[in-house]
Amino acid sequence: MRPISEAELSEMIRSALGPLRIAGGGTRNLGKPVLGAALSTAGLSGITLYEPGALTVVARAGTPLSEVQTTLAAEGQRLPFEPMDMRPLLGSEGTPTVGGMVAANASGPRRVQVGACRDSLIGLRFVDGTGAVVKNGGRVMKNVTGYDLVKLMAGSWGTLGVMSECAFKLLPVPETEATLRSAPLSPAAAVDVMSRALGTPYEVNGAARDESGCVCLRIEGFAKQVAYRRAALETALGGEWDVLEGPQSATLWQEIRDVQGFAGRTGDVWRLSVKPSDAPDIMARADCPALMDWGGGLIWALVEEGHDLRARLGAFAGHATLIRASGATRAALPVFQPEPAPLAAIAAGLRAKFDPRGVLNPGLMG
C-alpha cells in the first residue's frame, strides 16, 4: 500500500483487516520483525511550508530527508539535531524520510547541545489505528496548548499512529566548525575530559570517543568565534590536541553520527543510553569494541552475534536497544529495554487507546 494523500492513508488504516508493517523509506529496519501488509508513506511527499525568517519547516512524512536538507541548506539553515543515516550501519537501502526519522527520534552528536529530534519537532499530523486524523502542536516554537502528543509520537516507531506531516524548528548553519582530537585515552580519562569540555562556556556541541580511544570535541560558529573558543578550550583542558578544520571536521562527525566504525563488521550492534560517568564501568562490563558519543552518554557496542548484552551488563541506570541483529536474534531478545511494570502498563494502555485493533506495527517495540 502506498497512499498519496492523508485521506487515503486514513482509509487504508480504517479498512485494514490485519497487521500493517509501516515504513517510510525502509532504511531504519529495526525492532521486532513485524508480519503484515506493507504500508509505505513515501507517497506522502513534499515540503508544504518553509519560512526561513521564522526558522520553521513543515513537510509531509514521506518527503526524502535529503530534499528537506537541500532546501534548508540553500537558505543557510538546517535541522539542528543531526539525524543519523542508518544505511551504512544496517546495510539497508532506500531513501530516509522525514517520518521515518521522527518515528525513530533519530538524533546525532549535536544532541548534547541542541537536544534530540523530538526537541525540534513542533507539530505533526498523524492517523491513529482507527483511521482518525489527528493534529497536535503546530508550526510555532512555543506551544503548550493541550497535551504534547508530538513528543509521544517521536520515537514510537509507528506503533501509535502513522505520521502524515511533521513540523520542525530550525537553526542557522554556522559559518564554520573545528574539531580538537586527542591521542588515545582510556574510557575513564575520555569521559573526564569530555565532561570538562561540556562544562565550559565554549559551547562544545560534539563530544565523542572513537574505537581507538581518541576523543573528538567539536565547536561551531563564526570563524573568529571558533578560533577563540578552540584556543580557550585547549587552554582549559590542557594536553595535546590535533585540530581538524572545516570540511575535515564535518566528515569526521558524519562518520561518528552514522557509526561507520561498525559498518560492515560482523556482530550485533547495541546502543546504550547511560549517565556519562557510568560509561567507563559499563564499557568494561560490556567488554567489546565500543564507541562513545554524547560525552559518554551514548555507547555503541559491537557484540558477538546472538549474545544478550543486557545479561552481561547486569543492572544499570539507563537502557539498551538492539539496533542491528539477525531476525532470529531480534525475535529472541527484547529489542527495546524491558520496562518496569507501571510504565509497561502505561505503554500498553496507550497502544490500546491509539491502536485498539493492534494493526500498527504490532509487537515492534515488544
| C-alpha span between 98 and 69 (Å, rounded) | 10
With respect to another protein, which residue has the nearer C-beta, 93 or 317? 317
For the bound state, the minimum distance from the C-beta of residue 152 to another protein, rounded and expressed in Å, comes to 5
Q: Which is nearer to another protein, 42 or 166 (CB)?
A: 166
Nearer to another protein, 201 or 264 (CB): 201
CB of 171 to another protein, least distance (A): 7
Beta carbon nearer to another protein, 216 or 274: 274
3-state secondary structure of 65: helix
Nearer to another protein, 39 or 167 (CB): 167
**Rounded CA separation 5/46 (Å):** 11
**Smallest separation (angstroms) from another protein to the CB of 70:** 18
State the minimum distance, in angstroms, from the CB of residue 362 to another protein: 15
Could you tell me the smallest distance in angstroms from the CB atom of residue 327 to another protein? 22
Cα separation of 115 and 81, whole Å?
Answer: 6
Q: Which is nearer to another protein, 2 or 271 (CB)?
A: 271
Nearest distance in Å: CB 186, another protein: 16
- Of the pair 42, 178, the CB lying nearest another protein is at 178
> The dihedral of CA 230, 235, 237, 241: what is its sign?
positive
212: its cell numbers: 581507538
Specify the residue, 263 or 321, whose C-beta has the smaller distance to another protein.
321
Task: Using alpha carbons only, give the angle 211, 97, 218 rounded to the nearest 5 degrees.
Answer: 35
Q: 73 burial class (0-12, 13-18, 19+ CB within 10 angstroms)?
A: exposed
What is the C-alpha to C-alpha distance for residues 152 and 159, in angstroms, rounded to an integer? Answer: 11
* CA–CA distance, 106 with 156 (Å, rounded to integer): 11
Q: Which residues pair with 51 in a beta bridge?
A: 56
Work out how close the CB of 227 gets to another protein at its nearest, in angstroms, rounded to a whole number: 10
Radius of gyration of the chain (CA): 21
* β partners of residue 97: 64
SS3 content of the chain, % helix, strand, coil (to 5): 35, 25, 40
Dist CA 129 CA 150 (whole Å): 16
Give the shortest CB-218-to-another protein separation in angstroms. Answer: 16
For residue 294, count other CB atoms closer than 10 A to its CB.
22
